[in-house]
Chain A
Amino acid sequence: MSKVRTDTIAAVATPPGRSAISLIRVSGPAAFEVLNRIFKTGGKKTFPLPHCAYYGSIIEPIAGLIADKVLVTTFVAPHSYTGENLVEVSTHGNIVVVSKVLQIILQNGARGAEPGEFTRRAFLNGKMDLLEVEAVSQLLSADSMSQARLALNQLDGLPSHFVGRIRAHLLDHLVQLEASLNFPEDAIEAIDEHILARELKKIRAELQIFADNARNGSMVAGGLKVALLGRPNSGKSSIMNYMLGRERAIVTDIAGTTRDTLEESLMIGNYAIKLIDTAGLREPGDRIEAIGIERTRRAVDDAFALIGVFDGSSQPDSDDRLVLAELDRAGKPCIILRNKTDLPQQLPDNFFGGRDQLQASALNGLGLEQLVASLSALISQSGLGGYEELVLLGAQQSAALERALASLDRACAGIGRMYQDMLAIDLEETVRELGRVNGETVDVNTLDLIFERFCIGK
């Protein structure tokens, strides 16, 4: 059932304060009428022709004053982003100008769009599925090339294709199963449970890869978390500040200065990184510190990669060993950094047991470029470099995917041992949840499919 609203909406589509040009979108049946009232084209082309770009002025109709010189592009339903008549008005980026133009549009027949309403209309008009909707919202707020590429990749419909294919495959099996359950006396070929078991396992494996990609996708989309780990006073906050190019974290020579985790974004190559400064790891001295250290451990668990920071100018102590142990426990990509190389070195090389170490000094920045290069290499080695594979899911969709995996697991475990009606319940749930992942109609009508495929009846 289509529920397209009949009114016309408008909103600024570009995020505030980021570009020289701002884009205002007007969508709905009256989009062209609205523009007709306020737009005067500079050229000879009649306005509005479908799918044309016009240069001209937005004029406040009552006062007759020009608000801005703009570029207007027309799109005719259903061949537009929203599937409705759509006009895009490119204005100068100045916030005052943009507000003025929007105000004029709103006074002449459009109403302000609710957040996400354009995308919702696009979805309702069948212009995009849920995965794509998710991608658009990510695209609009993308900070880095990698995030934007990921969102664009999603818009090409690749992941939804994949989910759609898996779902169709499972639905096929479900229909076969349901046919024999619903119509026991129609000579429907019995299910070969061995073959089905094999098939389901294969699908299960494919879906697992997809789920992993989704997990990686959300990591990339949210910024890859890299945590700085080290005993107090090893120089973590100094490194953070240096990399950010400003004094974000407080640095003192008092051990235990940083008491809570700090998160800041920066770009490394094409990737958005969330660098996390943590409270130095040691046997806690007080309760606040204990809590801080607890948070450090959590940050370690959440992180994509770790940087172990060691003070090269002092003898290793038990806290340093604690840090090494923590790095091992986490089992994540990590870089070992010997800091304070500007001072005489006391930390023996063999302390790291032959592992690679980087030499750096947060005081003068020596060696920190090497740190950036190493991080960059870590990311590409991790396989996250292949954006093509990554998938972006919203919270609802991830939950649906998890449920789909769980019910498919049950089906795989139960087949051959469980009655077929239970198997059908599990498969039905998998199909339903996969439908939620990419927003295909939730109502799976297996019965209709049965009648299409099998000769049922007396």
Chain B
Amino acid sequence: MQKIEKYSVIVVGAGHAGCEAALASSRLGIDTLLLTMNLSTIALMPCNPSIGGPGKGHLVREIGALGGEMPACIDETCVQMKWLNTSKGPAVRSRRAQADKYLYRQRMTQTLFTAANLTLRQGHVTEIVVENGCVAGVALETGLRFSCDRLIVTSGTYLNSRIILGRASWPGGPHDQRAATGLSESLQSHGVALRRLQTATPPRILKSSVDFSKLSELPGDPESGGFLWENRLRHYDRQISCYLAFTDADSVAAVRRNLSESPLVLENITNDGPKHCPSIDRKIIRFPDMVKHQIFVEPEGWQSEELYLQGLTTAMPPTAQKDIVSSVKGLENAVILRYGYAIEYDALAPGLIRKTMENRAIKGLYSAGQLNGTSGYEEAAAQGLIAGINAALALKGRPSYWPSRTNSYIGVLVDDLSTWQKPEPYRITPGHAEFRLTLRDDSAERRLTEDGYRIGLVNEARYRVISSWKMRIENELERLAALSLFPSGETREKLVQLGTGDLKKRVSGCEILQRPGISYSDVKNLLGENAETWLSAADEIYSIETEVKYSGYFEREAENIVQTRFLESIRLPLQILDQRLKVLSPQTIELLTSDKYDDLNQLVRKNCLSRSELAILLIVLQKDLTAVGETEVLND
């Protein structure tokens, strides 16, 4: 008989979710095995060569603050970095990087291979072994078996995946990989329900076949800094540009004349795809009057000869794709190197995952990434990190880490996911976050690094530097509030010069900074720079200016945050049902006592409780709340 190798944690799949999960678990000292179908495609970006953007960029920053890997990796391997939304305000401002997708893979692969406590093996997992309702291990296609205490499945778009290209269709994964077979059926046999989702990718074209003179150039921003806190002020002097092209009436006509070959029309594919990445066919069908659609032409790496056509996603047959691409001004002679395609795959049915990424059906099973019904690299990585952290914490006998909606986009993501009921995949955007002023890009470490340190992913040295940076900002906010500016002749003259109103009585440093058009350095000027120590780092000043200038908004947000925290702190299912709660309807009692929701805030957000029911609950539960405390404190 074969001797079964045993690991505490096994991670299936080395996509963006799997990489973070395996690193988190192993870095927390847990012996971890990462099994993936193909060791040469670790951290593959099968679709767009970019990371970040509003919401997504916030996730990447937070992953870094908690001690994850994605930001470190992209900061080193990007070909372009820029700020988005700078003119629209601090809450929605975020970075986006264009990746060298080859370098990204290489670097992530190297990081995994050099990580302590982490073993990598190539292997196609076809079965999960469950004993007494608990996960016990996995079996591979080859017949090999491994046993484990915790299993994290991050199979991405591979489960029973099918490629669709016009009328043609065959089993297969992204990037000409194989489809993962067997695992779906195994999961289902253990009571894990699945559903079918789809996504698609545009064609890649040969760089030398593009007439760039007809496109407009979109350069990067050398001053944007990187995602990782340590890289926040880094200069990126060498960058490659993206380019912008547009469809016109000819392109619309090209799509129309090929529409009969679109899988959308052929209906040989499930309709449940990401709303935010519609194919060009869908766009033309849904918005028939729109002629001008943007196409971002993006490089795939420093050395790559391929260009990605963001905006031209389609799974129409090759002849149609050629027709459409060449209708675009500047791409008339473009050579298609890889055709766009759609992929259909199995994902978990809604309602199966907790905020901790644990599965409700099988004990010891965690899942993350596209399998959970999300789309996007950043969403996958964030979930992988949480899954890895929680699998490891569980094995250490420590309480789970429940991110909160009130302190991170990660919290918003996992909370939304655990209650997501819509047919389409989930993608994060600032629109999902109700506290987005607090969850700003620049405040990630102030919100999360403490957590990362307590969990054990942020080491002492890093924690120290980040803490002292945080203290600098917070002390400066206090100092400004305490500083006084008096209406002396000189001051009033300066104020007039700055184009702001006169001064009649004493004001604080904060009050003067709140005036429109007054910057931190103006305040420093007014108050005399010698007397005190003033901050000079651009990022610190930015945070201070933002928080002072919009303090009214912060205060209002803070009130709601307290309320949400309170509701989040009431974990479901309720362990004991107070007698007095029997007055609630049976349906409500069922919601409170069965394992369907993670906390009371979810019920409130989903409108499951009437106002009077909530009032009754809060009155009854209030007593016990002192015992619950505000947020879970991780000990040890």
Residues of A within 8 A of B (CB): 1, 3, 5-6, 120, 124, 178, 180-187, 396, 410, 417-422, 425, 429, 441-443, 446-447, 450-451, 455-458
Interface residues of B in 568-625 (CB under 8 A from A): 585-588, 605-608, 610-612
Q: Which residues of B contact A446 (CB under 8 A)?
A: 431
Question: Which of A187, A419, A458 sits near B292, CB closer than 8 Å?
Answer: A187
Which residue of the partner chain A has the closest CB to B94? Answer: A184
Asked if B286 and A455 sit within 8 Å, CB to CB, the answer is yes
User: Which segment of B84-92, B156-164, B500-508, B520-528 sits at the interface?
Assistant: B84-92
Q: In the complex, how many angstroms separate the beta carbon of A118 from the nearest chain B beta carbon?
A: 14
Q: Within 8 Å of chain A (Cβ to Cβ): is B402?
A: no
Is there a chain A Cβ closer than 8 Å to B313's Cβ? yes
B52 → chain A closest CB, angstroms: 11
CB distance from A355 to the nearest CB of B (A): 42
Interface 9-residue window, one of B272-280, B318-326, B486-494:
B272-280
Asked whether A182 and B553 contact (CB < 8 A) given A120-B610, A124-B610, the answer is no
B338 within 8 A of A: no
> Does A420 contact B429, Cβ atoms closer than 8 Å?
no
B111 to chain A, nearest CB (A): 28
Asked if B311 is an interface residue, CB under 8 A from chain A, the answer is: yes
Q: How far is the CA of A443 from the CA of B605 in the complex (A)?
A: 7
6 residue pairs A–B, Cβ–Cβ below 8 Å: A6-B586, A181-B431, A183-B429, A425-B553, A450-B431, A457-B311
- CB of A420 within 8 A of CB of B553, answer no
Tell me whether A457 and B278 are in contact in the complex, defined as CB-CB below 8 angstroms, given that A182-B55, A447-B429 are known contacts.
yes
From the candidates A396, A421, A451, name the one contacting B91 in the complex (CB within 8 A).
A421
Question: How far is B278's CA from A450's CA once the two chains are assembled, in angstroms?
Answer: 14
Chain A residues with CB under 8 Å of B611's CB are 396
Interface: B294 (CB within 8 A): yes
Residue contact B54 to A442, C-beta cutoff 8 Å? no
Contact B290 A455 (CB under 8 A): yes
Q: Are A419 and B296 in contact (CB under 8 A)?
A: no
Complex interface: chain A residues within 8 A of B92 (CB): 181-182, 184, 421
List the count of A-B residue pairs having beta carbons below 8 Å apart: 112
Chain A's closest residue to B428 (CB) is: A182
* Cβ of B166 under 8 Å from chain A: no
B443 to chain A, nearest CB (A): 14
Q: How far is the CB of A125 from chain B (nearest CB, A)?
A: 13
B32 within 8 A of partner (CB):
no
B232 at the interface (CB under 8 A from A): no
Q: Given that A422-B89, A422-B550 are contacting pairs, would A182 and B286 also be in contact in the complex, using a CB cutoff of 8 Å?
A: no
* Complex interface bits, B75-109 against A, C-beta within 8 A gives 1, otherwise 0: 00000000011011111100000000000000000
B27 at the interface (CB under 8 A from A): no
Query: What residues on A are CB-neighbors of B432 within 8 Å?
Result: 447
Contact B277 A181 (CB under 8 A): no
Q: Which residues of B contact A124 (CB under 8 A)?
A: 610
Structural contact, B431 and A178, CB atoms closer than 8 A? yes
Q: Does B310 sit within 8 A of A, measured CB to CB? A: yes
- CB contacts (< 8 Å) of A185 on chain B: these are 53, 84, 294, 296
Interface contact B84-A421, CB-CB below 8 Å? no
CB pair B88 A3 closer than 8 Å: no
A456 partner residues in chain B, CB cutoff 8 A: 275-276, 278
4 further contact pairs, Cβ within 8 A, besides A180-B88, A184-B84, A457-B275: A420-B89, A421-B91, A456-B276, A458-B276
Task: Name the one of B48, B91, B294, B606 contacting A186, with C-beta atoms under 8 angstroms.
Answer: B294
- Contact indicator A419/B283 (Cβ below 8 Å): no
A182 touches B608 (CB 8 A): no
Knowing A187-B294, A422-B550, the reply to whether A458 touches B89 (Cβ < 8 A) is: no
B296 touching A447, Cβ below 8 Å: no
In the bound complex, residues from chain B placing their C-beta under 8 Å from that of A180 are: 88
Closest residue of chain B to A187 (Cβ to Cβ) is B294
Complex contact B276–A184 (CB within 8 A): no
The chain B residue with its CB closest to the CB of A124 is B610
CB-CB under 8 A for A421 and B436, given A1-B606, A124-B610, A458-B313: yes
Report the minimal beta-carbon distance from B244 to chain A, rounded to whole angstroms.
9
> How distant is the Cα of A184 from the Cα of B89 in the complex, in angstroms?
12
Closest chain B CB from A444 CB (angstroms):
10
Residue from A184, A410, A417, A442 in contact with B88 in the complex, judged by beta carbons closer than 8 Å: A184
Inter-subunit contact B88/A420 (CB<8 Å): yes
B437 interfacial contact with A, CB 8 Å: yes
B293 touches A455 (CB 8 A): yes
Distance in angstroms between the alpha carbons of A410 and B552 in the assembled complex: 10
Q: Bound complex: CA of A198 vs CA of B286, how far in Å?
A: 32
Known: A185-B84, A422-B89. A455 touches B277 (CB 8 A): no
CA distance A186 to B290 in the complex (A): 13
Give Cα A187–Cα B91 distance, bound, in whole angstroms: 20
Give the one of A5, A181, A186 with max B CB within 10 A. A181
Give Cα A278–Cα B431 distance, bound, in whole angstroms: 56
Cβ of A451 and Cβ of B88 under 8 Å apart?
A: no
| Residues of chain A lying within 8 A (CB to CB) of residue B437 | 421-422, 425
Kindly provide the distance from the CB of B417 to the nearest chain A CB, expressed in whole angstroms. Answer: 15
